[in-house]
Structure formats: C-alpha cells, structure tokens
Amino acid sequence: TGTITNRGKAPPLTIRIACGGRHAAPDEGTFEMFSTEFNVNRYDFGVVGGSALGPVISRDVKVKIVAAVRVAG
C-alpha cells in the first residue's frame, strides 16, 4: 500500500506482488523474479483527454511491471 503520484495528485494504491521464484541466467547469476499488474483510472490524475478523443479513450490504464533482483552470493 502506498501512493502513485502523477500531475501532483497522489491517490492511495494497493497492489499485489507475485514472486516468480529464482532463475539462473548463464554468465549473469541468479535472480529473484517479481511481477505485478494493476489498473489506474486516468481521471484520478486529471488526465481526461480532449473533447473529441477523451470519451473514446479508456479511463483505465493497465500497468504491468516485471522485475528481477540479483541474488547476492
């Protein structure tokens, strides 16, 4: 739980993070994988679009993050 700030607005946001386990990459090391997906309503940040396109563009913006963290050792 935290906030995401865009255009000076910071509504609260709670996301779930999935652990994808450890993966070894040859010559790179071992990595712990994490991912998340969530939607953000662009209207919450004052991004409404113009009078012509605003109504036809989805209010929701889908965010997908995949991250790898190198395991020490």
Is pLDDT of 6 > 90?
no
- What's the pLDDT tens digit per position in 16-36? 999 999 999 999 999 999 999
What is the pTM for the complete model shown?
A: 0.70
Q: Which tokens go with 51?
A: 């009078």
Show Cβ contacts of residue 19 under 8 Å, excluding neighbours closer than 6 positions: 32, 33, 34
Q: What is the pLDDT of residue 50?
A: 66
